[in-house]
Amino acid sequence: MCDSIVRMASLNVGNLGEFLREQRRNAQLTLRQLADAAGVSNPYLSQIERGLRRPSAEILQQLAKALRISAETLYVQAGILDEREREEAEVRSVILADPSINEQQKQALLQIYEAFRKENALAADKAAGADDNSTPDHGKPSS
């Protein structure tokens, strides 16, 4: 069991490294240029790209900034954040970054967004509970 957890963690690190290399190439940056822009050493970045090192959230944030992508995207690749959390964080970021609305309006939108999320989560929980209650005999046919 422990071995499979270690393998899964190393798979995430490898996938992260491949993803970072692809993003770096898409940005037309050399390893050295990205390392300099992110404030990390060349050997360390090379080890991350080869899946030998697992960077901290702070290093991922620096790399994301240098690559001009969202940190949440890298967090998902690293297994720190799941896809739903990333989407939620991106929605919040977009609202907060919108220059056409003031701070009070931004906070109101975030409150409404959170209220809708809670309402939908409760509805999903109720629906799941109803499904569980529909088979009280644990799937056995009634006599």
pLDDT tens digits, 36-72: 999 999 999 999 999 999 999 999 999 999 999 888 8
Residue 136 is predicted with a pLDDT of 52
Do residue 17 and residue 75 come from a single domain? yes
Do residue 24 and residue 66 come from a single domain? yes
Residue 1 is predicted with a pLDDT of 38
**Domain assignment of residue 6, given as a range:** 2-82
The fraction of the chain above a pLDDT of 70, given in percent, is 81
Do residue 11 and residue 47 come from a single domain? yes
Mean pLDDT of 13-39: 92
How far is Cα 134 from Cα 53, in angstroms, rounded to an integer? 48
| CATH assignment of the domain containing 35 | 1.10.260.40
Residue 35 is predicted with a pLDDT of 97
The fraction of the chain above a pLDDT of 90, given in percent, is 48
Do residue 40 and residue 7 come from a single domain? yes
Could you tell me if residue 35 is inside a domain?
yes
Number of H helices, E strands in the chain: 7, 0
Do residue 7 and residue 75 come from a single domain? yes
Domain count, the chain: 2
Could you tell me if residue 91 is inside a domain?
no
* pTM summary value: 0.56
